[in-house]
Structure 1
């Protein structure tokens, strides 16, 4: 860190505020795993892991984390939300082995008057008693001013009365939450600037929510205004619209505020994001900045072409910073440049005519709304090149396949052989077997034997998605000679039919 850079503390509250996401509940072992990653890999300064008094499961999780943290020198970086409840939260903290409490107090006169129904002096007295007890028991204390944002809008005199009181208390940090996510960036800057200038000796954290999708912008303005710390969550998890997301906020600060520095390791953000997605079941939108699946994927062919020619569509937000890589989507808007980029990554080179054929096939698949991945490319290429060697004298024009419970599968097939149209219907043990039985009827009329099917193999590219392309490879025996044909489609039976049509043309 250069002399001119100001250090910003990052407190991650995924395990406390983030767990207030509707439907999310981490198990104790999941909480421990996430806590370990946040401190050792992502390298945030502090983590808020729970609320006191919530449940036995929460207590077990806190005990497991504090035990690990104490053994590894992280105990003073583990924080728990507590309440103005006499000695109840303090005793809970002691039993759980935690040392840093974040005391939730009222930051607006509206909350104080209507929720607690108390006067400021009474609230201050009760807060002071809890802080004194915490200090006596060896606990470090930070203080939240709940609903501080509305307090600054509607009862600024109360906020300053409270801060005048708190500046004489033994607290380490005062934390300013936009509890309902109602502030716009200009307000964040104005309010925090005023407070930091009025109380230059106090450490202030800013805690942003994302109700208007302004969480990251508000974090930026809060830091510009002089906030000493910021509260963030993995994937922007949190109540209602969530909290300011860790990955986005760190990227913005790194790129647009060279005067500040954090300890966060960008390369670890995506890994922990995916882990939290798995544990929480809270799915990351594919277009979520930094961590979404699509955010480093170029889809339009013109973008891929520009990247090849002079990185025309690159910005400072490079995927490698976050342990990711740029990808080029394959679909109806791809164009040759996208496909060439993917082939290059696979180490495959094609002639210009073959590249055009592969491009056309991908466009056709894209028009059917099928997702084509890089892993599909070798299958598509194999199918295209295999088809190039076959003259289509036999065309399967139409077919109807049926499958119903307790009824034998059936197939009706319409096929053209050397310009002559045939139609047959048959049943079988499966849809493909019924299809083959219908074909046998056609070729019986032509007094021609069909090859014997000796092997039938189905492959899909890695990933196992249900909409993946499916390659069926069928081995045939004909006149004591074996040969193979391939078919490619998102439907397994259709891919087998395509492989069969190739066989009919070869014989």
Structure 2
């Protein structure tokens, strides 16, 4: 049975660009507990007011079978444990479990901690004896253990003996610099496992050499049954062990039982990953194994053709096992199978001869700068048109005029746009202005033209807008551009694309596709 300790709320917050409020930390702790993580390290209550506030607020929160851990360090030199503020903060946090970091590497003891090797051993043993006496389960985080073992094996092992004499029930070996190799981790963990037969052995790897997952698996093969990491691999420098990769590897590849987790709960993995990203205000990693959008995305025509026959041809696990879904991408690398599969996702049936024409059109448009991978609404409309589906409107022209502010700084720059839109047999010629620029003015003028015919577009909002230059530095301001737009209505989101040498024309193409998709997507125009 493997025990997972999640340190997203402590070690994870030490990562660059990762910042969590107390409310965020409480929400994440509740979500991780609901997922089934048995141990959640909430922070270092003695280091900052935010973590102290978190533990105070968590005293009334029911996490079910999950236990909350407070983090801290051994007593300082010259102080008894009961006199040390950091040790006292761990006790006052009121958690049943504490994780305590202690030095394992003689180099760190002498040059960073600046105490004698003997004093470091006393600091470990006395701190743990005190905490156990206060009713705590003590997890010993052996900082820099692998580097320490390689530098001075005898002393590194002696620090573990001091931890056990003090009452620690778990010895977690930390690859703090993240530079150890899997074979080293395996051999050293095996040696520790054999030296401490009645003690739980753990692993806490960092990812500086892109080996954290491999090192964790090596440690488990060597006998470790306690694994520490973070959701999405957050952490200092290159991050910690990524639990969203480690957990499915342990369960699906090794067939191991994880305390508190089950195959049914594993299906929540992607949602948990994105929940944590959302609370941290970070964009999910597109290529994250198991949980990323691209993890089960297929682009090459040969791949898609095979996957449609049997997903095992190009998928190592079924995506639904980890809460993900299979995606078929449409691009200039696509084959007919891609297009048919993509349309099938939307419940669309298209004859093979029509698919051939659609494929040719897609490749021509991508050569001109379009990209349909992230703009599935534009792809749907393209298929809709080729299949003979009616469009709700057509744009016949537009103009944009920008009024530049004069010398008075209080006078804002604003834009005015006019559009000519045909809706059925009616030609609409409207104008609008905006202080937010020409794209906003175009959007307002277009809405003004079609809203009398389609009042439902008032519910649609623009949620993202991106411009990419396509032609390279040589073309300068004559470069072609690609505009990607995301729109939303309620909980539904869709993306469109426009490409042109003219940024405003590309923007208007993407905008109008976004509105057209919302109006035609439910029309039953696709029949086999």
Corresponding residue number in structure 2 for 1:117: 114
Corresponding residue number in structure 1 for 2:277: 277
What are the equivalent positions in structure 2 for 1:194-205 lying under 5 Å apart?
194-205=191-202
Corresponding residue number in structure 2 for 1:319: 319
| Pick aligned residue for 2:153 from 151, 156, 160 | 156
Tell which deviates more after alignment, 263-272 or 368-377.
Answer: 368-377
CA distance in 2, matches of 1:64, 1:329: 46
Corresponding residue number in structure 1 for 2:518: none
Maintained 8 Å contact 2:128/2:168: yes
Cα 1:262–1:301 change in 2 (3 A) is: farther
CA distance in 1, matches of 2:313, 2:96: 49
CA distance in 2, matches of 1:126, 1:22: 31
What's the offset of the Cα at 1:404? 2.9
Corresponding residue number in structure 2 for 1:59: 52
What's the offset of the Cα at 1:260? 5.4
- TM-score for both structures, normalised by structure 1: 0.77
Cα 1:145–1:262 change in 2 (3 A) is: same
Corresponding residue number in structure 2 for 1:328: 328
| Pick aligned residue for 1:31 from 15, 25, 34 | 25
CA distance in 2, matches of 1:211, 1:386: 55
| Pick aligned residue for 1:379 from 374, 381, 384 | 381
Q: Does 1:82 align with 2:75?
A: no
Corresponding residue number in structure 2 for 1:207: 204
Maintained 8 Å contact 1:90/1:133: no
| Pick aligned residue for 1:11 from 2, 5, 11 | 5
CA distance in 2, matches of 1:387, 1:170: 74
Instruction: Give secondary structure in 2 for the equivalent of 1:81.
Output: strand
What's the offset of the Cα at 1:402? 5.4
CA distance in 2, matches of 1:272, 1:99: 25
What are the equivalent positions in structure 2 for 1:402-441 lying under 5 Å apart?
403-406=401-404, 430-432=417-419
Maintained 8 Å contact 1:102/1:141: yes
What's the offset of the Cα at 1:496? 9.5
Q: Deviations over 1:353-380 (max 9, x none)?
A: 3222322232233331423444444422
CA distance in 2, matches of 1:69, 1:34: 13
Maintained 8 Å contact 1:331/1:365: no
Maintained 8 Å contact 1:296/1:327: yes
Cα 1:258–1:463 change in 2 (3 A) is: farther
Maintained 8 Å contact 1:375/1:461: no
Maintained 8 Å contact 1:35/1:65: no
Maintained 8 Å contact 1:105/1:146: yes
Q: Does 1:452 align with 2:449?
A: no
Maintained 8 Å contact 1:8/1:260: yes
Q: Deviations over 1:273-322 (max 9, x none)?
A: 11111121333331121122211110111111111233363333221011
Maintained 8 Å contact 2:29/2:40: yes
CA distance in 1, matches of 2:171, 2:498: 60
CA distance in 1, matches of 2:240, 2:129: 31
CA distance in 2, matches of 1:497, 1:259: 52
Cα 1:52–1:360 change in 2 (3 A) is: same
Instruction: Give secondary structure in 1 for the equivalent of 2:70.
Output: strand
RMSD, matched Cα: 3.3
CA distance in 2, matches of 1:287, 1:470: 20
Cα 1:465–1:144 change in 2 (3 A) is: same
What's the offset of the Cα at 1:29? 1.4
CA distance in 2, matches of 1:270, 1:259: 20
What's the offset of the Cα at 1:109? 0.5
Tell which deviates more after alignment, 121-130 or 229-238.
Answer: 121-130
Instruction: Give secondary structure in 2 for the equivalent of 1:168.
Output: helix
Cα 1:345–1:139 change in 2 (3 A) is: same
Maintained 8 Å contact 1:14/1:232: yes
CA distance in 2, matches of 1:497, 1:110: 65
Corresponding residue number in structure 2 for 1:193: 190
CA distance in 1, matches of 2:101, 2:62: 23
Corresponding residue number in structure 2 for 1:100: 97
CA distance in 2, matches of 1:488, 1:190: 53
What's the offset of the Cα at 1:110? 0.7
CA distance in 2, matches of 1:255, 1:495: 42
Corresponding residue number in structure 2 for 1:91: 88
The count of aligned residue pairs is: 432
Runs of 5+ unmatched residues, structure 2: 76-80, 406-414, 430-448, 466-482, 488-495, 500-505, 514-528
What's the offset of the Cα at 1:193? 0.4
What's the offset of the Cα at 1:158? 0.4
Cα 1:201–1:286 change in 2 (3 A) is: same
Q: Deviations over 1:186-233 (max 9, x none)?
A: 000000001101111111110011000001111110000001211111
What's the offset of the Cα at 1:117? 1.8
Cα 1:312–1:36 change in 2 (3 A) is: closer
Instruction: Give secondary structure in 2 for the equivalent of 1:430.
Output: strand
Q: Deviations over 1:164-192 (max 9, x none)?
A: 33332211211110001011000000000
What's the offset of the Cα at 1:406? 4.7
CA distance in 2, matches of 1:113, 1:304: 59
Corresponding residue number in structure 1 for 2:360: 360
Instruction: Give secondary structure in 1 for the equivalent of 2:59.
Output: helix
CA distance in 2, matches of 1:496, 1:261: 48
Corresponding residue number in structure 2 for 1:444: none
Instruction: Give secondary structure in 2 for the equivalent of 1:358.
Output: helix
